[in-house]
Amino acid sequence: MRISEPHHPPFAFHELLDRFPRRKILVVGDIMVDEYIWGGVSRISPEAPVPIVEVEHEYIRLGGAANVVANVRALGGQADLVGVVGGDAMAERLIHEVEQIGVKSDGMVVDRSRKTTRKTRVVAGPQHVVRFDRESTDDLGDEIRGRIEELIRDRLASVDALVISDYGKGVIGGRLLQEILPLAHARGVVIVVDPKVNHFDMYRNVSVLTPNHWEAATAWGRPIRSEAEVVEAGRHLVDTLRVQAVLVTRGEKGMSLFEADGRVSHIPAVAKEVYDVTGAGDTVVGAMALALCSKATMVEAAHIANHAASVVVGKRGTATVSVAELQRALAQKEE
């Protein structure tokens, strides 16, 4: 095992970013809406000891797999989206928002037996007051899953990478992965997975898995309390799942990359100010997929993803990073 020092390796990131517009990413997974209600608090309710939020504005953002697609598009890449929405008014708004970023909505299957996954956050000034979720988490029915499989088969022939965005809302399951992963391997596409803990055994032989610190510890089966235990957990996941790499995202401690050849790279966090981490994992997988299919090494792709995430966590709410913002972040790294 070789553990690299936490430094930034030199690489021609401009050349890699210039390739992004010629790359196409297929994103499959749980499509969601992130809804925000912003306001201020000046008094407590007389009915109960809770703050009264005086609503100032409301908006929605693409979430989950749709946010991965939004990040790919913001970085200049091409994208396809396959997933499920409910038969409701929010689905119509979601479809409109996806089309607004230049992505076709014909891969968004409407399942009228489900709700469109919707996370509503009430925020008062800097304080996140409450979040309430409306969702269906049952596995897909055979008919809907069959339609999803057909859509994926049709698209895999024309993409460079497959991103699986698994939020545990029912789209990603064993039967679907048994169908699509062999097809992706046969096509030779990069496979990047944003995992859900209870599905880890399904992700064998993918290119890279991107669990956060808690997910990695849960999959390992023990708490991670030290740098040595991070390494043990990362190596365990690589060896058990036989993946090319595992990228553990660790918040203020940065990221740790574990590769199948035994190399371990600790990448320090670069965010100067963290405002909101919502959706940062979506940015990581989108940037990783674009970088890897643009011929970046795993370490280069991880550095690009790290800097992309450092931009979005400094923004309010679910957000994306543009090519210009990523270029500036990477340029600051080299100074």
How open is the CA angle 207-213-219, to the nearest 5 degrees? 65
Active site residues: 282
CA 108 distance to own-chain centroid = 18
Distance, CA of 87 to CA of 316 (rounded, Å):
29
CB 187 within 8 Å of CB 26? no
Distance, CA of 89 to CA of 14 (rounded, Å):
42
Strands 263-267 and 2-4: parallel
State the CB neighbour count (10 A cutoff) for residue 30. Answer: 24
Q: In the structure encoding, which two tokens stand for residue 13, read together?
A: 């990131």
CB 72 within 8 Å of CB 294? no
Distance, CA of 327 to CA of 169 (rounded, Å):
34
